[in-house]
Amino acid sequence: QLQLQESGPGLVKPSETLSLTCTVSGGSISSSSYYWGWIRQPPGKGLEWIGSIYYSGSTYYNPSLKSRVTISVDTSKNQFSLRVSSVTAADTAVYYCASLSIAASQTFDYWGQGTLVTVSS
């Protein structure tokens, strides 16, 4: 069973870059059965898909964030990462990483526990 764990700073200053890493265990990030994704949830609000990546490096981003987001993968470390540039208070959210099962209609089947990132000076 896959396990995912987010890591990174919990506080980021406005205009700076948010950086998070997701470490995958219990399976290989190079599996052809999965994409890997980032989803966020502002406090008290709903879920927003940020983007996804395949182990080959192919990426898909939400157009609403595309100009500020970069997702990358490090197969040697079984990790994938998220960078969001020029952050504002609106980027304050719990950030989740998740696996997307290709066989199960690209469903987010395993999730990390989430990490709260606050944008504040």
Residues near other proteins (CB under 8 A)? 46-49, 52, 60, 62-64, 96, 100-101, 104-109, 111-114
C-alpha Rg value of the chain to the nearest Å: 14
Q: Are 32 and 75 in contact (CB under 8 A)?
A: no
> For other proteins, which is the closer residue by CB, 8 or 16?
8
Least distance CB 86 / other proteins (angstroms): 20
Least distance CB 121 / other proteins (angstroms): 26
> For other proteins, which is the closer residue by CB, 13 or 45?
45
The length of the chain, given as a count of residues: 121
Instruction: Give me the residues paired with residue 86 across strands.
Output: none
Least distance CB 40 / other proteins (angstroms): 11
CA 24 from centre of chain: 12
> For other proteins, which is the closer residue by CB, 112 or 119?
112
Query: What are phi and psi for residue 119, nearest 5 degrees?
Result: -100, 110
